[in-house]
C-alpha cells in the first residue's frame, strides 16, 4: 500500500476532539472591567509592529460573545475546547492577593457554559500575553517571574480547577522566546544582538540594532522552563489528589526531514535542528532534565569562538535539573509544517536564518503552500514527528494541542466562495488527521486528542488579520463580529462524528 494513501480507522473512544484559541487573539475587551495592559496590548499599539496596523482591542469580541463561540462548538460536536486565560485580566497588578473579580467571573461563565454543553475546557495559563507591569519588572528576563508564575498558576488552579481537568502551563515557549526576545517580531519586541547581525542584510531590518549581549532568548527559555516546572509541582503537590487533572506544556515543532536521506550530513543536520528547536524545551521536561547535549556543546563552542568567557546558553544547577525533569502528565504538541534540512556550506550560507544553527532549512518546491509564508502543507511530516516524539521521549501520551492551515485574506471579500469554500483547509485537516491516525494504528503512538487551530479567524500576531486560520470566518468589519462556518467546519465535524475515517 502506498504510504501516502489515506486509511480508514478510529481513534480511542475517549479521544479529545477540540478547537483552540488564545485570549489576546480572540477576546478583545482589552481595557474593560479592570483588565490591565499586557505586553501584546503595548506592542500592537506601537506603530509599525503589525503588518496591517491592527490590534486585538476587539478581535473576535469573545469577551462579550463567548456564548456564540460555545454554540458554534456545540454544532461542531467537539468534546473539548482549548482556551487561554489572560493573566492581566485575572491579576491586573500581577499580585494574586488583588484579583480582578470581573475577570474571574468572565472565565467562570465561559467554563460553566462549556460544561453545560458537554465541552471540557483545556486551559492554557500563558499564551504570550504577559502583564506589562510584570514585564517592566524584568518579566521573563528576571528570575522573579518564576515565583510570580507559580502564584498565578496557584490562583488559577484554586479558582477553576474544580472544573478544569486539563491544563497547559505555557504555549510554545520556543516561539515566545525566539520571536519575542530574539527576532523582535512579537511582544515585547526585543531583538537579540546576534539576530540583528544575522538579519541586517534584510532591507526592512537594516537599521535595527539593539545590543543584547545577554542573548535574551536563551535567558528567557531558562525562566520559562523553571516557571513551567514550578506550576506543575504546585499542581502535583497541592491540587492533584483533590482535582484529578493533568498538567503539561504545549511545544511547537516542525518536522525536519534530511534533504537527501542518503547523505549522512543531511541526516545529522535534521537531528541537530530538532535538538535545538523541539529538544530545547522537550529535553529538559521529557528527557534528561537539561538542554540537549548537542545544543549545550554547540552554543558553548560558538560562545568561545566569540571570545566570551561563558556560554550564552545558561546552565541549570543539579537541583534545577531534578526539579524540571518529568514535569508533565502528557506531551502537548503544536504542529503545522515541515522543512528539509542540510548542513551549512559555502553554497547555501546565504540562506542561514538562525545565528547559532549551522543548518539550512528549505521547503521542497513541490509542496503546496498555505496563506502564511512559512506554512507548507506536508501531512506525512506530522506522522514522522509523532513517531519521533514517541520514540525519543518514552512513548508519552500525546495531545495535539494545535494544528491548522491559513488562508491569505482578501480585504475585499466579505462572504461567499472566496472566504467560505476553503478547500485547501479541508484537505489539510483530512490529510493531517489521517496521518495522525496512521501514527496511532501503524506506529503505536499514544495519541489522546486533537485540537484544530483555530475555532475562529483571529488576530494572527504580527500578521494582524491578513492571515486567517479559522474554520469559522469572522467579519471584522461587522461590529457584531458575525461568525460563519467555513466548509472546513463541516469536514472537521464529520471526522469527529466518525471518531476517525470510514
Catalytic residues: 172, 402
Q: Does 188 sit behind a cis peptide bond, omega within 30 degrees of 0 on the bond before it?
A: yes
* CB closer to ligand BGC, 283 vs 334: 334
* CB closer to ligand BGC, 295 vs 463: 463
For the sheet with 338-343, list strands across it.
Answer: 255-258, 338-343, 359-362
Closest-CA residue to 398 (of 250, 234, 232):
250
* CB closer to ligand BGC, 40 vs 152: 40
CB 128 within 8 A of CB 171: yes
* CB closer to ligand BGC, 176 vs 343: 176
- Secondary structure element (H or E) that encloses residue 282, with its range: helix 278-286
**Does residue 45 sit in helix, strand or coil?**
coil
Determine the distance from the C-alpha atom of residue 27 to the mean position of all C-alpha atoms in its chain, rounded to a whole number: 17
CB of 170 to ligand BGC, least distance (A): 11
* CB closer to ligand BGC, 283 vs 466: 466
CB 176 within 8 A of CB 170: yes
β-bridge partners, 166: 122, 246
CB of 19 to ligand BGC, least distance (A): 12
CB 169 within 8 A of CB 246: no
CB of 26 to ligand BGC, least distance (A): 10
With residues binned 3-state (H G I as helix, E B as strand, rest as coil), the percentages for the chain, rounded to 5, are 40, 15, 40
Beta strand 166-171 pairing with 246-252? parallel
CB 430 within 8 A of CB 495: yes
* CB closer to ligand BGC, 10 vs 185: 185
CA distance 208 to 192: 10
Binding site residues, ligand BGC, CB under 6 A: 22, 25, 171-172, 175, 252, 334, 402, 453, 460, 469
The secondary structure of 96-144 as a DSSP string is TTS--HHHHHHHHHHHHHHHHTT-EEEEEEESS--BHHHHHTTGGGSTH
CB of 99 to ligand BGC, least distance (A): 25
In 127-276, which ranges are continuous DSSP H helix? 132-136, 144-160, 173-181, 193-199, 216-238, 240-243, 264-276
* CB closer to ligand BGC, 159 vs 170: 170
**Does residue 167 sit in helix, strand or coil?**
strand
CB of 244 to ligand BGC, least distance (A): 27
CB atoms within 10 A of CB 304: 12
Closest-CA residue to 498 (of 58, 203, 77, 33):
77
* CB closer to ligand BGC, 356 vs 402: 402
CB 433 within 8 A of CB 17: no
Residue at grid coordinates 546565504: 350
CA distance 63 to 9: 38
CB of 196 to ligand BGC, least distance (A): 23
CB of 352 to ligand BGC, least distance (A): 23
* CB closer to ligand BGC, 25 vs 100: 25
CB of 453 to ligand BGC, least distance (A): 5
CB of 363 to ligand BGC, least distance (A): 17
Amino acid at each position: 500500500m502506498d504510504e501516502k494513501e489515506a486509511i480508514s480507522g478510529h481513534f480511542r473512544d475517549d479521544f479529545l476532539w477540540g478547537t483552540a484559541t488564545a485570549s489576546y487573539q480572540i477576546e478583545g475587551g482589552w481595557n474593560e472591567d479592570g483588565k490591565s495592559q499586557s505586553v501584546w496590548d503595548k506592542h500592537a499599539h506601537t506603530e509599525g509592529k503589525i503588518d496591517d496596523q491592527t490590534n486585538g482591542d476587539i478581535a473576535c469580541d469573545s469577551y462579550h460573545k463567548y456564548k456564540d463561540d460555545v454554540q458554534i462548538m456545540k454544532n461542531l460536536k467537539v468534546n473539548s475546547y482549548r482556551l487561554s486565560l489572560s493573566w492581566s485580566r485575572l491579576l491586573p497588578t500581577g499580585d494574586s492577593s488583588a484579583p480582578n473579580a470581573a475577570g474571574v467571573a468572565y472565565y467562570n461563565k465561559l467554563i460553566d457554559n462549556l460544561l453545560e454543553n458537554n465541552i471540557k475546557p483545556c486551559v492554557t495559563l500563558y499564551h504570550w500575553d504577559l502583564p506589562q507591569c510584570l514585564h517592566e519588572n524584568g518579566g521573563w528576563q528576571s528570575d522573579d517571574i518564576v515565583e510570580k508564575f507559580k502564584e498565578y498558576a496557584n490562583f488559577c488552579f484554586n479558582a477553576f480547577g474544580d472544573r478544569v481537568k486539563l491544563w497547559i502551563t505555557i504555549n510554545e515557549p520556543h516561539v515566545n522566546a525566539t520571536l519575542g526576545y530574539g527576532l523582535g517580531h512579537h511582544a515585547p519586541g526585543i531583538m537579540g544582538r546576534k539576530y540583528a547581525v544575522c538579519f541586517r542584510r534584510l532591507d526592512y531590518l537594516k537599521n535595527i540594532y539593539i545590543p543584547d549581549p545577554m542573548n535574551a532568548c536563551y535567558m528567557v527559555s531558562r525562566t520559562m522552563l523553571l516557571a513551567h516546572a514550578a506550576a506543575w509541582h504546585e499542581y502535583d503537590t497541592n491540587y492533584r489528589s483533590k482535582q484529578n487533572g493533568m498538567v503539561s506544556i504545549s511545544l511547537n515543532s516542525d518536522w525536519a526531514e534530511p534533504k537527501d536521506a542518503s547523505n549522512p550530513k543531511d541526516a545529522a543536520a535534521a537531528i541537530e535542528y530538532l535538538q535545538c528547536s523541539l529538544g530545547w524545551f522537550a529535553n529538559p521536561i521529557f528527557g534528561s532534565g537539561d538542554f540537549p547535549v548537542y545544543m549545550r556543546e554547540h552554543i558553548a563552542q560558538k560562545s568561545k569562538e566569540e571570545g566570551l568567557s561563558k556560554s550564552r546558553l545558561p546552565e541549570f544547577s543539579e537541583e534545577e535539573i531534578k526539579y524540571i525533569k518529568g514535569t508533565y502528565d502528557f506531551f502537548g504538541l503544536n504542529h503545522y509544517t515541515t522543512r528539509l534540512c542540510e548542513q551549512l556550506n559555502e553554497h547555501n550560507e546565504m540562506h542561514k536564518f538562525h545565528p547559532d544553527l549551522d543548518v539550512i532549512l528549505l521547503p521542497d518546491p513541490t509542496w503546496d503552500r498555505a496563506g502564511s509564508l512559512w506554512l507548507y502543507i506536508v501531512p506525512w511530516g506530522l506522522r514522522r514527528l509523532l513517531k519521533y516524539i514517541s520514540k525519543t521521549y518514552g512513548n508519552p501520551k500525546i495531545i495535539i494541542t494545535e494544528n491548522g492551515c491559513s488562508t491569505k485574506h482578501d480585504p475585499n471579500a466579505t462572504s461567499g466562495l472566496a472566504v467560505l469554500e476553503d478547500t485547501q483547509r479541508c484537505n489539510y485537516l483530512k490529510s493531517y488527521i489521517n496521518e495522525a491516525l496512521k501514527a496511532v494504528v501503524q506506529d503505536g503512538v499514544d495519541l489522546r486528542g486533537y485540537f484544530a487551530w483555530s475555532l475562529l479567524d483571529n488576530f494572527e500576531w504580527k500578521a494582524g488579520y491578513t492571515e486567517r486560520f479559522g474554520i469559522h470566518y469572522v467579519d471584522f468589519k461587522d461590529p457584531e463580529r458575525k461568525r460563519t462556518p467555513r466548509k472546513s467546519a463541516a469536514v472537521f465535524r464529520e471526522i469527529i462524528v466518525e471518531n476517525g475515517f470510514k
